[in-house]
């Protein structure tokens, strides 16, 4: 496993895992474990690193600087991310660093979003139970990428998690590892 304290040893891809209870998670725990098992990306578990929710901003910025591709992985909560990831973006993507005058430190990096959702894919469309598509609901991330000069990629989505069998989850985990490496995955990339 890559260690976030050892930046010189870091891979090109940084995966920020933001789950408030990863130990009791089924989907995100399995996805993160697959990346850690393969060991070629840096996996950064946000809630475990910052239990008191006070960030080391310089360290987070150094981590971002050291990678070319950033993956934000989280369970979909109220059509968005868990609160700590929002807070992380609020304080780490600073004016003058990520945007604004001389704020070009994220420019050219890729931004990938990986989410798990209780609702099924078919619910996420006009007229469906959740009315809007994942692409529409993820717009704040897309526009944050635009503002910071990052390259936004199609998301990886594990939807309808209650219907995902253990066998399907294994397939998702393998596809996720491919997706994180920047190659198109077979499943999970319907936005
Ligand atoms: C506070 C909260 C809010 C949630 N909001 C949504 C939501 O907006 N849309 C949805 O499809 N699922 C929603 N869910 C379900 C989670 O997305 C689902 O439990 C999670 O993706 C499962 O992943 P895990 O096995 O890694 O915990 C919500 C769950 C919680 C606890």
Min mean pLDDT across 9-13, 109-113, 118-122 is at 9-13
**Mean pLDDT on 4-12:** 46
Does residue 189 sit within a domain?
no
- Which atom in ligand 1 lies closest to the alpha carbon of residue 24? 27
Task: Tell me which of 74, 114, 117 to substitute to probe ligand 1's pocket, judged by most ligand atoms within 8 Å of the beta carbon.
Answer: 117
Task: Tell me which of 118, 155, 156 to substitute to probe ligand 1's pocket, judged by most ligand atoms within 8 Å of the beta carbon.
Answer: 118
Mean pLDDT taken over the chain: 92
Q: Whose CA is nearest to atom 1 of ligand 1?
A: 77
3-state secondary structure labels for all residues of the chain: CCCCCCHHHCCCEEEEECCCCHHHCCHHHHHHHHHHHHCCCEEEEHHHHCCCCCCCHHHHHHHHHCCCEEEEEEECECCECCHHHHHHHHHHCCECCCECCCCCCCCCCEEEEEEECCCCHHHCCCCCCCCCCHHHHCHHHHHHHHHHCCEECCCEEECCHHHCCHHHHHHHHHHHHHHHCCCCCCCCCCC
Confidence of residue 190 (pLDDT cuts 50, 70, 90): low
Number of domains present in the structure of the chain: 1
Does residue 2 sit within a domain?
no
Is 114 within 8 Å of 73 (Cβ atoms)?
A: yes
Does residue 1 sit within a domain?
no
Does residue 122 sit within a domain?
yes
Give the separation between CA 43 and CA 10, rounded to whole angstroms. 10
> b/e for 84-104, b at 16 or more Cβ within 10 A?
bbebbbeebbeeebbbeeebe
Q: What is the CATH number of the domain that holds 54?
A: 3.40.50.360
Give the separation between CA 47 and CA 21, rounded to whole angstroms. 8
pLDDT at 191 over 80: no
Does residue 65 sit within a domain?
yes
Calculate how far, in angstroms, residue 8's C-alpha sits from the geometric centre of ligand 1.
35
Does residue 157 sit within a domain?
yes
Q: CB of 78 closer than 6 A to ligand 1?
A: yes
Token pair belonging to 12: 């090109």
Give the structural domain span for 122.
Answer: 7-180
pLDDT in tens, 29-87: 999 999 999 998 999 999 999 999 999 999 999 999 999 999 999 999 999 999 999 99
Which residue in this structure is represented by tokens 């940084």?
14
Task: Tell me which of 77, 123, 156 to substitute to probe ligand 1's pocket, judged by most ligand atoms within 8 Å of the beta carbon.
Answer: 77
pTM: 0.93
- Residue 189 confidence (pLDDT): 59
pLDDT in tens, 125-147: 999 999 999 999 999 999 999 99
Q: CB of 161 closer than 6 A to ligand 1?
A: yes
């Amino acid at each position: 496993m890559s260690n976030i304290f050892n930046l010189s040893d870091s891979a090109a891809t940084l995966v920020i895992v933001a789950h408030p209870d990863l130990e009791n998670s089924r989907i995100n725990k399995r996805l993160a474990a697959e990346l850690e098992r393969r060991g070629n990306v840096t996996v950064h578990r946000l809630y475990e690193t910052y239990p008191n929710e006070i960030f080391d901003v310089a360290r987070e910025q150094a981590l971002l600087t050291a990678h070319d591709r950033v993956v934000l992985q989280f369970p979909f909560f109220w059509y968005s991310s868990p609160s700590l990831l929002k807070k992380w973006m609020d304080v780490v993507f600073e004016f003058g660093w990520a945007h604004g005058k001389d704020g070009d430190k994220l420019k050219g990096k890729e931004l990938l979003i990986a989410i798990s959702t209780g609702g099924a894919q078919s619910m996420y469309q006009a007229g469906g139970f959740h009315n809007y598509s994942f692409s529409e609901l993820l717009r704040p991330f897309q526009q944050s990428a635009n503002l910071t000069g990052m390259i936004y990629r199609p998301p990886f989505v594990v939807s309808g998690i209650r219907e995902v069998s253990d066998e399907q989850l294994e397939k998702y985990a393998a596809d996720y590892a491919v997706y994180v490496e920047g190659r198109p995955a077979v499943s999970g990339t319907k936005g």
